[in-house]
């Protein structure tokens, strides 16, 4: 396993250093030396600057060149035009690591900015302990924002919110290490009493710093798991969200064109959160109709997929809960779809390796657009079972998909009059979602075994 991780690190490093050559770095270093020391020596002779400060400036400029090399200078301008990614994806949740690639990539991103925290913090040697750290962290954040904007404007890279976070964390770590080191070094050469006072002061500062970190961690925990309140969460589930807040760690909003006959586009602003519910909106802009869609950042396999929702009643529209994944001609899709022209029925369907044709229309006996109801499908290797309000209503046993897939929820108008009836263009329309969950097949089986054991006792 360790060798696999090392190989993955090697692949990432090779990809992220593509375009960086020793010749280019040597030329850049020569230019930096000439720029800093050429003018700096003159300023030193006029007693405007000390050699120590001059060396600090050189380190700052040199490492700024390193950061530019890794972000802007290694690609041709225009090679990555207009790519903006506002998702936060750290590769880890409360349930553990789900993307080793993301964890390693983010870790290397943090490490890249640790020396930047060292260099920036050295300019605040004579300032207070907390000031050094906070000022350095702010400068690191501004530096990262500058690099992300330059990449976007020159078309040399993506604007990534993920990078802003990891780069700022790296700067913070570097600043903390240097600030603590400087505080400890200042103790040297002092009398015993003074040494004790200084040590107590360092401990006090460290305590304040730990408090800040804990508050930040609590805030991050609130953002990443604030949609799992104790009143609605079933802790036997593997994945859960009650949609009381937008959770950028679990879900991403779709913002691209949909695979429809006309120019349907998913809009992030069509995904809204209010009063403990999520709404997906169908709307229209100058280019045409827009829909709302979110998907999980993690794929899930066999297990129980559940949602509590209320559909849209209108000709030509779909409100859906499903899973989906595709790799070439291999793929998985299992659907729970409400066709807006008749919301007293629900359509179950599934696709195996991009082949469908398994539609089944079930009569609910109620109007799914008027009240919230629970819907689910239990996916195993040999079957798919669909449920309505806890009761199994349909089962499929042939050609079952096997590939792990993301969970999706969407609301959209479709240009399929034979299937959905003609869409009348009415906007806005809203589908509402109360909560969704996934329970792995292993967890489901463990729960059944536990319940049976408790009954026999």
List per-residue pLDDT tens for the chain, 457 residues long.
Answer: 456 667 777 777 777 888 787 788 888 888 888 888 887 777 777 777 787 888 888 889 999 999 998 888 888 787 766 667 777 777 766 556 666 777 888 889 999 999 999 999 999 877 888 898 999 999 999 999 999 999 888 888 888 888 999 999 999 999 998 888 877 766 554 555 565 666 666 666 667 767 766 666 666 555 555 566 544 445 567 888 989 888 877 889 998 776 555 678 899 999 999 988 999 999 998 888 999 999 998 899 999 999 999 999 999 999 999 999 999 999 999 999 999 999 999 999 999 999 999 999 999 999 999 999 999 999 999 999 999 999 999 999 999 999 999 999 999 998 888 899 999 999 999 999 999 999 988 766 655 454 444 444 4
- Predicted pLDDT of residue 120: 94
**How open is the CA angle 39-42-43, to the nearest 5 degrees?**
85
What span, in angstroms and rounded, lies between the C-alpha atoms of 358 and 352?
10
Is 32 catalytic? The answer is: no
Please identify which of the residues 337, 370, 442, 453 carries the catalytic annotation: 337
Please answer whether residues 186 and 198 qualify as being in contact, where contact means their C-beta atoms are separated by less than 8 angstroms.
Answer: yes
The pLDDT score that the predictor gives to residue 390 is 95
pLDDT of residue 228: 61
Is there a catalytic annotation at residue 457?
no
Report pLDDT for 117.
93
Strands 288-296 and 265-266: parallel
| Fold of the CATH domain 239-448 | Jelly Rolls (2.60.120)
Half-sphere exposure of 281 (CA within 13 A, CB side): 13
Contacts of 398 (CB under 8 A, 6+ apart): none
Contact at 8 Å (CB) between 63 and 114? no
Taking the C-alpha atoms of residue 19 and residue 130, their distance in angstroms, rounded to an integer, is 38
In whole angstroms, give the CA distance from residue 43 to residue 121: 23
Query: What token pair was written down for 80?
Result: 């990555």
User: Torsions phi, psi of 88, nearest 5?
Assistant: -105, 115
Q: How far apart are the first and last CA of the chain?
A: 42
Q: Compute the distance between CA of residue 443 and CA of residue 432 in angstroms, rounded to an integer.
A: 28
Distances (CA, A) of 126 to 54, 121, 122, 130, 208: 16, 10, 9, 12, 19
State the pLDDT at residue 2.
56
Cα atoms in the 13 Å half-sphere on the side-chain side of 20:
17
pLDDT at 314: 97
- Spot the catalytic one: 333, 422, 442, 457: 333
What are the sequence ranges of the domains in the chain?
Answer: 2-19+75-225, 239-448
Per-residue pLDDT, 231 = 41
Return d(Cα 419, Cα 214) in angstroms, integer: 54
On whether the CB atoms of residues 317 and 282 are closer than 8 A, the answer is yes
Backbone dihedral angles phi then psi of residue 434, each to the nearest 5 degrees:
-90, -50
- Please give, one letter per residue, the 3-state secondary structure of the chain: CHHHHHHHHHHHHHHHCCCCCHHHHHHHHHHHHHHHHHHHHHHHHCCCCCHHHHHHHHHHHHHHHHHHHHHHHCCCCCCECCCEECCCCCCEECCEECCHHHHHHHHHHHHHHHHHHHHHHHCCCCCCHHHHHHHHHHHHHHHHHHHHHHHHHHCECCEEHHHHHHHHHHHHHHHHHHHHHHHHHCCCCCCHHHHHHHHHHHHHHHHHHHHHHHHHHHHHHHHHHCCCCCCCCCCCCCEEECCCCCCCCCEEECCCECCCCCCCEECHHHEEEECCEEEEEEEEECCEEEEEEEEECCCECCEEEEEEEECCCCCCEEEEEEEEEEECCEEEEEEEEEECCCCCEEEEEEEECCECCCCEEEECCCCCCCCCEEEEEEECCCCEEEEECCEEEEEECCCCCCCCEEEEEEEEECCCHHHHCCCCCCCCEEEEEEEEEEEEHHHHHHHHHHHHHHHHC
Q: What is the pLDDT of residue 447?
A: 54
Tell me how far the alpha carbon of residue 300 is from its chain's centroid.
16
Cis before 428? omega within 30: yes
């Amino acid at each position: 396993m360790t060798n696999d991780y090392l190989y993955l690190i090697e692949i990432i490093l090779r990809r992220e250093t593509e375009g960086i050559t020793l010749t280019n770095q040597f030329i850049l270093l020569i230019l930096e030396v000439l720029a800093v020391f050429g003018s700096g020596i003159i300023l030193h002779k006029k007693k405007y600057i000390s050699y120590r400060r001059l060396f600090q400036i050189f380190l700052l400029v040199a490492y700024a060149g390193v950061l530019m090399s890794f972000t802007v200078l290694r690609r041709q301008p225009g090679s990555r035009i207009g790519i903006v990614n506002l998702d936060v994806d750290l590769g880890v949740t409360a349930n553990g690591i789900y993307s080793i690639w993301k964890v390693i990539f983010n870790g290397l991103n943090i490490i890249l900015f640790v020396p930047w925290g060292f260099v920036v913090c050295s300019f605040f040697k004579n300032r207070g302990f907390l000031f050094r750290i906070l000022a350095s962290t702010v400068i690191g954040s501004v530096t990262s924002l500058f690099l992300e904007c330059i990449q976007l404007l020159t078309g040399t890279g993506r604007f990534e919110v993920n990078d802003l976070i990891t780069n700022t964390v790296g700067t913070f770590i570097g600043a903390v290490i240097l600030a603590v080191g400087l505080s400890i070094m200042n103790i040297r050469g002092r009398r015993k009493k003074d040494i004790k006072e200084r040590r107590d002061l360092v401990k006090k500062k460290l305590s304040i710093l730990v408090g800040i970190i804990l508050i930040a961690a609590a805030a991050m925990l609130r953002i990443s798991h604030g949609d799992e309140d104790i009143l609605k969460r079933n802790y036997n589930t593997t994945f859960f969200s009650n949609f009381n807040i937008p959770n950028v760690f679990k879900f991403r909003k779709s913002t691209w064109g949909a695979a429809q006959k006309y120019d349907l586009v998913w809009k992030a602003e069509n995904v809204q959160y209010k009063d403990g519910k999520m709404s997906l909106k169908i709307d229209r802009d100058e280019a045409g109709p827009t829909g709302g869609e979110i998907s999980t950042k993690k794929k899930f396999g066999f297990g129980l997929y559940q949602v509590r929702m209320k559909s849209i009643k209108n000709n030509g529209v779909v409100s859906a809960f499903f899973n989906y994944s595709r790799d070439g001609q291999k793929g998985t899709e299992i659907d729970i779809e409400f066709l807006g022209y008749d919301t007293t029925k629900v359509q179950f369907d599934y696709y195996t390796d991009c082949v469908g044709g398994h539609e089944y229309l079930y009569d609910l006996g109620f109007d799914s657009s008027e009240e919230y109801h629970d819907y689910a499908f239990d996916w195993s290797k040999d079957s798919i079972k669909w449920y309505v309000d806890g009761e199994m209503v349909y089962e499929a046993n042939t050609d079952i998909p096997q590939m792990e897939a993301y969970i999706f929820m969407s609301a959209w108008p479709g240009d399929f009059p034979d299937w959905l009836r003609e869409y009348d263009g009415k906007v806005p329309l809203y589908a509402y979602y109360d909560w969704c969950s996934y329970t792995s097949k292993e967890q489901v089986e463990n729960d059944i075994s536990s319940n049976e054991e408790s009954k026999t006792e």
